[in-house]
Amino acid sequence: MNPQSAVPESDIAESPVIIRLTDITKSFPGIVANDSISLDIKRGEVHCLLGENGAGKSTLISVLAGLQQPDSGTIEVNGRPTVIGSPNVSMSQGIGVVYQHSALIPSLTVLENLMLSDSDNFWLDKAGATARLHELGELLGAEIDPDMQAGDLGLGQQQQVEIAKAMWKGSEVLILDEPTSMLTPQAIDNLVASVNRLKAEGLAVIFISHKLHEAYAIGDTVTVLRGGKVSGRIDPAEMHAMSEEESKARILEAMFGTNPEAISSDEAEAAGLVVEEQRRQIPADAPVVVQLSDLNTTSRSGEIPITDVNLKIHAGEIVGIAGIDGHGQQHLAEAIAGQLSPTSGAVTLDSKNITKLKVKARQHLGVRYVTDDRLHEGIVGTFSVALNLVLKKVGESPFWKFGRMDKAAVLGEAHQQIADYEIRTPSEQTRAGTLSGGNIQKILLARELSHDPRAVIFHKPTYGLDLKTVYRVRETVRDFARSGGAALLISTDLDELAELSDRIVVISNGRLIGEIPNDGNRVTERVGELMVGSKTDLARTGVAHEHE
C-alpha cells in the first residue's frame, strides 16, 4: 500500500481526465525526442514521469508548457482538442510548470516575481498579490516573505515560490520537473507534504524524476519514458497491489530494458536501487596530502566566500563536501586549485606550503580540479578535442617548443587519452563543444587525472550526465583514491556523497559546519539535518554577503 495516497486508487481510476496526450511526436535534428507518446493525466493524481536524462521528459514538458510545438499528435484539455501554441495558452488552460532550473529572477522580490504573470493588470497590484500569495502559502503549508529578494531565499523556499508562481492563476495541473534534485531530505519532506495537499484539493500533479524511490513514495501512477517512447506504465490499482520491490523492479526494467538480467549492477546502482557496500577503512597513519588552515577568501561578484576553513585530506581518502549549491563550494575548490588567492590562511600539499603558488605551479605538483562548469570553464567549446586535452599545458614542453605547437605530440596525447577514457568523438579534430556532456566530462577527467595527479577536486562530477557515464565517473573517483590519491568530492547529491565518501563535511555559508563519518548509520539524514540546522543562520548572513 502506498502510504501517502490521499485519494483511494479506485477514485483516481474513475476521476476525470484533465489532459490527454495522443501520439505526441517531436524531433530535433538527428534525434526523435518524443516518439508518439500517449498519456492521461487525471484529477487528483500524482503522475510520476520517470526516465533518465535524455529519455524525452524535458521535451514533453516543453510541449505542455507551450515552449515547443509537437510535430504531430494531439492534446486534449478537459476533453477539448487544444493547440498549446505559447506559454500563455498553456497557462490559460490551467497548466503550471515548475522548471528544474529556477525560473525566478533573483534580483526581483518574491512579489515582483509573482506579479510578472499578472499581464491583465495595468498597474502592479501589490495588495492583491500579497493576498493571493498568502492564500497559496496556506494551501502549500509554507510561509513566504513577499518582500525578500528571490535570490536570497533558500532553495526549498524558492521552490515553494515557484510552485506558487505556477499556480498563480489557478492551475489545475502542476508540473514539477525534477523538483528534488537540489533539496535536502527535510526540504523534500516539505515538498511532498505540499504536493499531497494539492492533490487533496483535486489538482493533478505531474512529478518528473529519475529516482525510483521517489516515484514509489509519491506517485499514484507511474509512466516510464525511454528513448523518447513510453516504455512502461503502472496504474494506481497495480501500484496498490505491488510491493515496493516489485514496483521498483518493474520501473527499472522499463527504464533500462526488457530483460532484467541484462541490467548491469552499475546502472541499478546509479539509479539508486542498490546501495554500495561500505567504504574500506583509511589507515589511521595515512599521510595528510592536502591541508587547509584557517583559509579565507573574499567575494568578487556576489558568490559566497569561504571563512576559516580547516580541512585535511589523507592519501587514499575521499572527502565529501555536502551543502546547498552556491554556499562557498566554488571558492573552496578554486582556492585549492589556485584559481583564487586566499586573503588569509594556508594551503599545503604533502606538507609543502603552496599558498603562494598559482594554478600552473600547483598543477605541476599534482593539484587538479575537475570543474562543475564543464562547458564554459572546463573546455573551450570552439577548440578541438585534442587542443582541449592539452589546454592546461599551452606553451609547455613536450607539446610546445619555442612557442610553437608540436602537432605530433599533441595528436599523440589525444589518441592516447581518447582511447584510455573512451571519449566518443568523430575525430580528435572535432570541436569539443559539439560533444555530449558525458564525453566532455571524460575530456576533463582525462586531462586532470593524467601526468601524476596527487590531489583532485571533483566538483559535481556527475551532474546532468547519463547513468553509464555517472557510473564511470564514480568508478574513476574511486580508482583515483584507491591508487593513493587524495580526493575532494563536492556534490549536492547526498546519495552520491554517501556512496563515495569516507567522510562528509557540510559546508554552509562558506563555513565547514560539521562532519559525519560515512559509517552507514542514517548518513544522508544526518547530513541533511546538519544542512537544515544551519538554515536560519544562513538566510540571515547569506543576505549580508550578497549585498557586499
Where in 60-79 is the site for another protein (CB under 8 A)? 62, 65, 67-68
CA distance 249 to 246: 5
Q: How many CB atoms lie within 10 A of CB 290?
A: 25
* Site membership for another protein, residue 382 (CB under 8 A): yes
> 283 preceded by cis ω (within 30°)?
no
* Site membership for another protein, residue 406 (CB under 8 A): no
Name the segment binding another protein (CB under 8 A); options: 13-21, 85-93, 141-149, 210-218: 85-93
Number of residues interacting with another protein: please give it, by CB under 8 A: 91
Among 1, 16, 23, 28, binds another protein (CB under 8 A): 28
The β-bridge partners of 347 are: 292
Among 378, 485, 514, 542, binds another protein (CB under 8 A): 378
DSSP annotation string for 413-471: HHHHHHHHTT---S-TTSBGGGS-HHHHHHHHHHHHHSS---EEEEESTTTT--HHHHH
**Shortest Å distance, C-beta 494 to another protein:** 23
Residue 116 or 139 with smaller CB distance to another protein: 116
Among 5, 43, 49, 113, binds another protein (CB under 8 A): 113
CA distance 413 to 416: 5
Among 41, 42, 44, 58, binds another protein (CB under 8 A): 58
CA distance 489 to 457: 6
CA distances from 84 to 93, 165, 546 (A): 9, 19, 39
* Site membership for another protein, residue 108 (CB under 8 A): yes
Name the segment binding another protein (CB under 8 A); options: 136-144, 283-291, 313-321, 367-375: 367-375
Residue 51 or 320 with smaller CB distance to another protein: 51
Phi-psi group of 141: left, alpha or beta (phi > 0 → left; psi -120 to 50 → alpha; rest → beta): left
Residue 267 or 317 with smaller CB distance to another protein: 267
Among 295, 340, 286, 360, smallest CA distance to 507 is for 295
Evaluate whether 288 touches 313 at the Cβ level (below 8 Å). Answer: yes
Q: How many CB atoms lie within 10 A of CB 195?
A: 22
Could you say which residues in the range 476-535 bind another protein, by CB under 8 A?
Answer: none
Residues 230-269, one symbol each (x = binds another protein by CB under 8 A, - = not), give --------------------------x----------x--
Residue 472 or 526 with smaller CB distance to another protein: 472
* Site membership for another protein, residue 56 (CB under 8 A): yes
Chain CA centroid to CA 80, Å: 36
**Shortest Å distance, C-beta 373 to another protein:** 7
Among 20, 233, 312, 360, binds another protein (CB under 8 A): 360
**Shortest Å distance, C-beta 484 to another protein:** 24
**Shortest Å distance, C-beta 346 to another protein:** 21
DSSP state letter for 393: G
* Site membership for another protein, residue 29 (CB under 8 A): yes
End-to-end CA distance of the chain: 52
Among 207, 216, 369, 421, binds another protein (CB under 8 A): 369
Residue 106 or 484 with smaller CB distance to another protein: 106
Cα-Cα-Cα-Cα torsion 489, 492, 495, 496, nearest 10 degrees, comes to -30
Among 18, 84, 104, 153, binds another protein (CB under 8 A): 104
* Site membership for another protein, residue 464 (CB under 8 A): yes
**Shortest Å distance, C-beta 89 to another protein:** 9
Among 442, 444, 469, smallest CA distance to 390 is for 444
